[in-house]
Structure 1
């Protein structure tokens, strides 16, 4: 059968992808530990009837977390957010709800006031905005004397979205609000706007913003240490429909845009419009995919001891189509982004037949450079503000705000690519480990309510753990952190968890293999503790995960268990790591799963126990780290049958055999007696004379009797128990001796639906 050439070509093209999938290095990066929701290790805040806890403002100066929700703002204790310090309601009126409903909106969901903006101002007041039943409104909020006071009344159009479910972004810089949202009720007029004494906004053109989804904003102090006395910048991350793509279908691409803080607009061209708005494509290559992934959230991280160019933006990306379940994290150096805007080529629209094609601009670029901020060179030319820019420069940037070159990630590839529930948000913390190294610890929220904690070293991404944040799965909408605490918000509730829970590791091996920069093994106390909790040297190996540094552990104690015939027994052996592979041995013999033995993730289940199940059981788990394999004996059990031989199946079978033998002997005796009677009757044998007294003597008689053997039941004896060998391991199992103390009832499982099956029939 002939094969179509396209099939061959497609197969050949897919080989690199199949090879990368087979490598399994990052796609199926499994968290080493999965932690279910624990109310004792998490503080949660939720009020009945209130939802959408998705706006946060950390006020470390007040020790408070201000939390914006639907029609309410809360002041929560920063150390324990379950403790409410104050709150204020901001509800819509019945008239506002009726007006909103009259415009076709749903009264109980859309026609509410969703708090969307919450920023600190220089005078310690807070600026707050809400959707206000599709009529955005802003105001000022104060906290004093344990009370929150709200003073609404400002128009929120262009600052806060109309639609509570529409994307937006905002930031406060020097008491000026920079916001990215929609200007109208329909959501069809996207805008990047600065609300100040000199308000300014973007042009209403598709070449500027084309059906955007706004993500986040960040301020960069680029005027610091600038030889050209440059201006500060405000960066905007978003995605939009690509104008430069020659596609039949709409293709969404990720963007980063920036404006200058001192921009005042143009004198004639671009009046009250940004003269410094430039944007570029943001790439995060995922398996050489032809369809770009879309940015969902970003986090700016800066080392205060380094230049601003060395600051990093960490961004999470998700697929724009449902055909892929791969999410990614990429990082970008601010200096690389700035260079593209300052020195890169522009794209320009060109009419080709019936459509517009965007190509690289190769003509002369006006001076001053379009989109540039006012710096020392511009001032020397007599241009002291954007109002002085020539129309040629302004006309150029009005038509060509898009850069030709795309922004590439710092390492040229993602830090992490993982298959599973989509990533939603990210925060990053730098931690200095005991080895002197500094590591970026990534905290990533997911759509199913998980918080991933991961590190990246070299080309390796390692997920330390994933923690379930809420009692039920809810998408993580926002993440913030302060000191050693992480705060997460969802539609259902807000929750607070520590950045590190070292106490979850009960052994040195477990602590070191976790490779958590926050934690180390303290050999003095014999516990895994936070590195910030002591000045002593701790055992830690973040780069290599080298657990050979751990001291020799104590042998695992043998737990004695007495079991009954036909009993279902479970032997516990929970592995501390999802990367570990467990195995079981019985008297040194490797065990595999069968109908009789079930190998479970947390132990071994023996169904319908028999005498052959007695013996020494050993649970071993093995984990690899950086090419090294560590094997640990996690548990040992000595099983023995209880009761005497008569209570065992073997004794019952022996008794049945003895009864059959006795029956056979009785039948033979009856046949012998019948034969003797027939011979007497036929005269072949003389009848015996009667016994009587005679003078001087007596006649004796000969008795005929059949010897009946006295059958006895054959007993059984238990096999000798193997003497357990010593192993240098440590266990947390605490059990009493099965012969002399209480049994561990937690390890016995009785399955009423399973019956003992005796394949040998009694005779």
Structure 2
């Protein structure tokens, strides 16, 4: 009898362990992550810090600059080629790295970070890297994808000072203009000197900025653009290069350093002065960029990225610059998008100059301005007067432009888009899905964030609409590159490359989102259940009319009212999707335990603030009534049922787990009875046994209260909703959901310390009560929350 009992005990123990291993992970596992993006994505193994993109539009080959490596990827099959891409290793010798570390730099910084990739006129690629704080440049032969070699067999290199930054994290920009490289970078090891220079080409024509804080004052370079004038322009204007950066303003007499965004311009034909400004720019002019919300009085003073787009191909006058701004004074994340036309910048550059009088440290308008006008490019009219090049300009003109590089007027624009709580890192502009007459100003902004998201925003005139927010990478991977190629957006992070559609009506998954893209040429087709380009015979309708035609549940201003059963003391976050840049407001019972997070509302539940909550947004402007975007009803419930309400898709798993637990209890009871009979018949003592349910086999699962307070931290929801419901959180003060249900882990730990006789008596009582109450068995603590899914709008 004893042997049989021991055999049954071992069999039951194995069965119990199998049940725990099978059911518990499925019940309490973390929710699976949502697919990041609809497209091809690949992560490069053993490669880090991908920072530079260069696209060969003819072949579709994308060249990537990374740490100690240059990659070549076929964009026609990214996922396959990224697994085994063509790779050039260009690292730093160990002795040079050691010398760099000896100068006080870290081992990671003393590597070769590729910061420049540009095509030369003969088809080769000019590449520059930091090379352990000693910038070096080389050339890549595209045919065999290799670095050109020197006579000694090593890499053929030339100095990269002035062409590439010394430090990997330093701000930098460069652009190739007719085979000549123009750069804006630091020019010394300490990073205290800055230059905007013509870095390649004829040695006699390599010029740079004058070393003066009036020219460049601790700048952070952002972007550059080469603007070609029309060959048949009547004035004979020269081509120009524009540089965008943020610098410390010297025109403000304040105790603190004030940063301002700037645009600077130089002429491609500038070769410096004869005596004054030798080897220096004679056409360097700069102006302040103002991105300001005049109604709210908010000015955005730090420029982070600029994208240049020519809205009418072949017409330089249609060029616009889209910039991402943030504020120097705001503590929370804040991003704004402003757009500037090339014509507005030209007007400011042709306007009055700003001057600082040395005696009173005040800026005034200078008088008089010498002739010919300082800072202008050599035109046909100047050539007719005998000024064939900048070398022929008088010293008084060069002295004036040396002392007065800043313009009096600013280039002013109002923000197209303002987002609080979001930090945009990169911007690109895609044309609308279908071009229409009268919609030449329409465009789609692709905005990358520091949390690995890609936002699509439609722009029609001065009206902007947030269409989609797509998670592309993990929150730890910021978007640092966006490149458009053949209707695709190549989005990069320091380790990953993703290929997703850049435009097209098919991107918009619902009737409501498609209706908001109505002015971009998209229309919802109910029969196909898809968003498609508008046909010529389609009846012309406005966006508001298209929204009204959508299903009532998706209607913009008639959302379904959602009931949330909550417990007193919990904190909940009620989502409200904000589709425009205009503000949103809430109607709710008056109570002080509320706080608005941008468009969402945080509520600490009490008996006084339950009731109806509604969110209203000014989607159509101030001339239209606010639109109701969300509606909720908060009702108090018995706290004991809150964990049951949290279950979503795993009820069948929990039921199977409860059934196995019940069967295990019965078998355990029978086992204990057999063991007690065997011991009484053999006269053995009733000592405690520790091998019945050892601690290593005890299911250690968190309680539902800990899941609520720790598994879902209170963070701002910035897009969509959580399964269409409000997100429920525990009180930060330590208040837990009081539930009279059994904690399985604690229960089993307690039973482990009891004797078999005591356990048998407890099991008899539990089985008797369980047989009576089994139809009403409650869900054990530790049941998982509903999976959180972010929905795009």
Provide the TM-score with structure 1 as the length reference.
0.66
TM-superposed deviation, 1:74: 1.1
Q: In the alignment, is the contact (CA less than 8 A) between 1:252 and 1:292 conserved in 2?
A: no
Identify unmatched segments of 5+ residues in structure 2.
1-31, 150-155, 576-613, 632-776, 784-793
TM-superposed deviation, 1:490: 2.1
Match of residue 501 from structure 2: 498
Match of residue 235 from structure 1: 242
Number of residue-to-residue matches in the alignment:
550
TM-superposed deviation, 1:455: 1.4
TM-superposed deviation, 1:87: 1.6
TM-superposed deviation, 1:105: 0.4
Match of residue 226 from structure 1: 233
Residues 75, 150 of structure 1: CA spacing in aligned structure 2 closer, same or farther, 3 A cutoff?
A: farther
Match of residue 345 from structure 1: 352
Match of residue 142 from structure 1: 141
Residues 499, 125 of structure 1: CA spacing in aligned structure 2 closer, same or farther, 3 A cutoff?
A: same
Counterpart check, 1:489 vs 2:492: yes
CA distance in 2, matches of 1:243, 1:621: 45
Match of residue 72 from structure 2: 75
Residues 279, 545 of structure 1: CA spacing in aligned structure 2 closer, same or farther, 3 A cutoff?
A: farther
1:55 to 49, 52, 56: 52
TM-superposed deviation, 1:401: 0.7
Q: In the alignment, is the contact (CA less than 8 A) between 2:37 and 2:471 conserved in 1?
A: no
Match of residue 531 from structure 2: 528
Q: In the alignment, is the contact (CA less than 8 A) between 2:425 and 2:480 conserved in 1?
A: yes
Match of residue 468 from structure 1: 471
CA distance in 1, matches of 2:164, 2:262: 21
Match of residue 423 from structure 1: 424
Counterpart check, 1:752 vs 2:780: yes
Q: Which has the higher strand share?
A: 1
Instruction: List aligned pairs for 1:267-306, cutoff 5 A.
Output: 267-286=274-293, 289=297, 292-305=300-313
Match of residue 318 from structure 2: 310
Instruction: List aligned pairs for 1:294-693, cutoff 5 A.
Output: 294-305=302-313, 307-342=315-350, 344-352=351-359, 356-361=361-366, 363-409=367-413, 413-431=414-432, 433=434, 436=437, 437-438=439-440, 439-500=442-503, 508-509=511-512, 511-513=514-516, 515=518, 517=520, 519-522=522-525, 525-529=528-532, 531=533, 543-544=543-544, 546-549=546-549, 581-584=559-562, 593-594=565-566, 626=620
Residues 492, 143 of structure 1: CA spacing in aligned structure 2 closer, same or farther, 3 A cutoff?
A: same
Residues 631, 601 of structure 1: CA spacing in aligned structure 2 closer, same or farther, 3 A cutoff?
A: closer
TM-superposed deviation, 1:125: 1.2
CA distance in 1, matches of 2:385, 2:141: 46
Match of residue 96 from structure 2: 96
Deviations 1:656-675 (CA, angstroms, capped at 9, x unpaired): xxxxxxxxxxxxxxxxxxxx
Match of residue 640 from structure 1: none
Deviations 1:663-692 (CA, angstroms, capped at 9, x unpaired): xxxxxxxxxxxxxxxxxxxxxxxxxxxxxx
Q: In the alignment, is the contact (CA less than 8 A) between 2:557 and 2:629 conserved in 1?
A: no
TM-superposed deviation, 1:83: 3.0
CA distance in 2, matches of 1:183, 1:384: 31
CA distance in 2, matches of 1:457, 1:100: 52
CA distance in 1, matches of 2:616, 2:285: 54
CA distance in 1, matches of 2:306, 2:470: 21
CA distance in 2, matches of 1:180, 1:334: 20
Residues 339, 601 of structure 1: CA spacing in aligned structure 2 closer, same or farther, 3 A cutoff?
A: closer
Residues 100, 486 of structure 1: CA spacing in aligned structure 2 closer, same or farther, 3 A cutoff?
A: same
Local SS of the residue matching 1:53: coil
TM-superposed deviation, 1:218: 0.2
Q: In the alignment, is the contact (CA less than 8 A) between 1:522 and 1:539 conserved in 2?
A: no
CA distance in 1, matches of 2:510, 2:47: 43
Q: In the alignment, is the contact (CA less than 8 A) between 2:186 and 2:194 conserved in 1?
A: yes
Q: In the alignment, is the contact (CA less than 8 A) between 1:118 and 1:126 conserved in 2?
A: yes
CA distance in 2, matches of 1:464, 1:326: 19
Residues 48, 384 of structure 1: CA spacing in aligned structure 2 closer, same or farther, 3 A cutoff?
A: same
Local SS of the residue matching 2:290: coil
Q: In the alignment, is the contact (CA less than 8 A) between 1:76 and 1:83 conserved in 2?
A: no
Deviations 1:432-486 (CA, angstroms, capped at 9, x unpaired): 5376534211111112221111012344321101111113432222221112111
CA distance in 2, matches of 1:125, 1:375: 33
Q: Which has the higher helix share?
A: 2
Q: In the alignment, is the contact (CA less than 8 A) between 1:434 and 1:540 conserved in 2?
A: no
Local SS of the residue matching 2:398: helix
CA distance in 1, matches of 2:555, 2:128: 45
Deviations 1:154-202 (CA, angstroms, capped at 9, x unpaired): 1100000001110001000111000000111011110001022020100
CA distance in 2, matches of 1:443, 1:359: 41
Q: In the alignment, is the contact (CA less than 8 A) between 1:36 and 1:467 conserved in 2?
A: no
CA distance in 1, matches of 2:362, 2:619: 52
Deviations 1:276-301 (CA, angstroms, capped at 9, x unpaired): 00001111014655764211111111
Q: In the alignment, is the contact (CA less than 8 A) between 2:37 and 2:472 conserved in 1?
A: no
Local SS of the residue matching 1:134: coil
CA distance in 2, matches of 1:98, 1:510: 56
Q: In the alignment, is the contact (CA less than 8 A) between 2:450 and 2:475 conserved in 1?
A: no
CA distance in 2, matches of 1:36, 1:228: 59
Residues 55, 223 of structure 1: CA spacing in aligned structure 2 closer, same or farther, 3 A cutoff?
A: same
TM-superposed deviation, 1:387: 0.6
Q: In the alignment, is the contact (CA less than 8 A) between 1:452 and 1:467 conserved in 2?
A: yes
TM-superposed deviation, 1:326: 2.5
CA distance in 2, matches of 1:417, 1:166: 27
Deviations 1:256-295 (CA, angstroms, capped at 9, x unpaired): 0000000000011111110000001111014655764211
CA distance in 2, matches of 1:404, 1:293: 17
Counterpart check, 1:254 vs 2:255: no
CA distance in 1, matches of 2:358, 2:496: 52
Match of residue 64 from structure 1: 61
CA distance in 2, matches of 1:577, 1:110: 53
TM-superposed deviation, 1:376: 1.3
CA distance in 2, matches of 1:448, 1:285: 26
TM-superposed deviation, 1:131: 0.5
Q: In the alignment, is the contact (CA less than 8 A) between 1:202 and 1:208 conserved in 2?
A: yes
CA distance in 1, matches of 2:446, 2:459: 12
State which structure, 1 or 2, has the greater radius of gyration over its C-alpha atoms: 1
Instruction: List aligned pairs for 1:9-88, cutoff 5 A.
Output: 38=35, 41-84=38-81, 85-88=85-88
Deviations 1:61-91 (CA, angstroms, capped at 9, x unpaired): 1111111111111111213433324221111
CA distance in 2, matches of 1:182, 1:621: 50
TM-superposed deviation, 1:327: 1.2
> What RMSD, in angstroms, separates the aligned Cα atoms of the two structures?
3.6
CA distance in 2, matches of 1:543, 1:433: 16
TM-superposed deviation, 1:623: 10
Q: In the alignment, is the contact (CA less than 8 A) between 1:139 and 1:153 conserved in 2?
A: yes
Q: In the alignment, is the contact (CA less than 8 A) between 1:266 and 1:394 conserved in 2?
A: yes
TM-superposed deviation, 1:349: 1.8
Local SS of the residue matching 2:447: strand
TM-superposed deviation, 1:380: 1.3
Deviations 1:369-423 (CA, angstroms, capped at 9, x unpaired): 10011111111111101111111100111111111111112xxx11111111212
CA distance in 1, matches of 2:262, 2:169: 21
The worse-fitting range, judged by mean Cα deviation, of 432-441 and 159-168 is 432-441
